[in-house]
Structure 1
Amino acid sequence: MAATDDDISDVRSFLAEADLTLSGLDAASVRLWIERDDGGRIVGATGFELSGDARHALIRSVAVASDRRAQGRGSALARFALERATDAGAGTAWLFSRRSGPFWQSLGFARADIAELAAALADTHQVRLFRETGQLDREVAWSRPLATAS
């Protein structure tokens, strides 16, 4: 289900536990979806932010609760974000990941040039934050075309 303003506090806590970037979660340009269990606890999240020209999507906030991992949920959530980004008109998906390269490669991503990502997505919250904090040069960029989203 699409995350609402009422969900943002819970989403922040969930993504903080997963050690993911929290910048801009409440921005209108960031689209987020969450899954909750029967008790209302967030057990999965996914999202993206479009570039100003809507040609590029920064996939972000893909996380699964630790007790729900290794069941295919992460892949399903990532594919959902890729499909929604394609529906929104993006032709290329990008992301930052220093720890999960093999996961993203299994979804068709390849290592990309960090400068290309930063240029394509210069106006996104995460790129701006990483530039401001000096973190951008320490990140690993990944990309894939969306025309063949799997």
Structure 2
Amino acid sequence: MHLWVSRDETTGRIFATTGYESSEDGSHVLIRSVAVDPELRGTGIGLELAQFALERAVEAGAKQAWLFSRRSGPFWQKVGFTSADKRDLAVALASTHQVQLFARTGQLGREVAWSRQL
């Protein structure tokens, strides 16, 4: 798991985070949210963080990025993601914590998957 936080340089307060999990072979990554303080949404910080995470994934050798999102599809489309089959995501990233948790709890059936090539 890779995780990044953005902090206010003066106060040290975290105002945004992002991260990803990798498949066992490293060719796929599962983006684990881009979270931005509600007061800062719409400023481009989320798009910058998403791009940052994707660039780090490419540097690590990933070829495909995936994510789950039921509500943020328009945001992820701005970053180049398109609707994907959640079963394909679950196969590509079967070893990740989030996929295992969603499969075990039944949440996988309620999720919406997105993907893009890197």
**Alignment partner, residue 120 of structure 1:** 92
Corresponding residue of 1:41: 13
1:19-61, Cα deviation, whole Å (9 max, x unpaired)? xxxxxxxxxxx10010111211110101111100101000113
Q: Where does residue 45 of structure 2 map in the other structure?
A: 73
Which of 40, 60, 67 matches 1:95? Answer: 67
Q: Counterpart amino acid of 2:5?
A: I
Number of the residue aligned with 1:62: 34
**Paired residues, number:** 117
The aligned residue for residue 103 of structure 2 is 131
Shift in Å, 1:68: 1.0
Name segments (4+ residues, structure 1) moved above 6 Å: none
The C-alpha deviation readout for 1:79-102, integer Å capped at 9, x for no partner, is 000000000100000000000000
Residue 66 of structure 1 deviates from its aligned partner by 0.9
- Give the letter aligned to residue 4 of structure 2: W
Instruction: Give the match's secondary structure for 1:74.
Output: helix
Give the 3-state SS of the residue equivalent to 2:104 in structure 1.
helix
Mapped to 1, the partners of 2:13 and 2:5 lie a distance apart of: 10
TM-score with structure 2 setting the length: 0.97
> Runs of 5+ in structure 2 lacking a partner?
none
Indicate yes or no: 2:82 matched with 1:143.
Answer: no
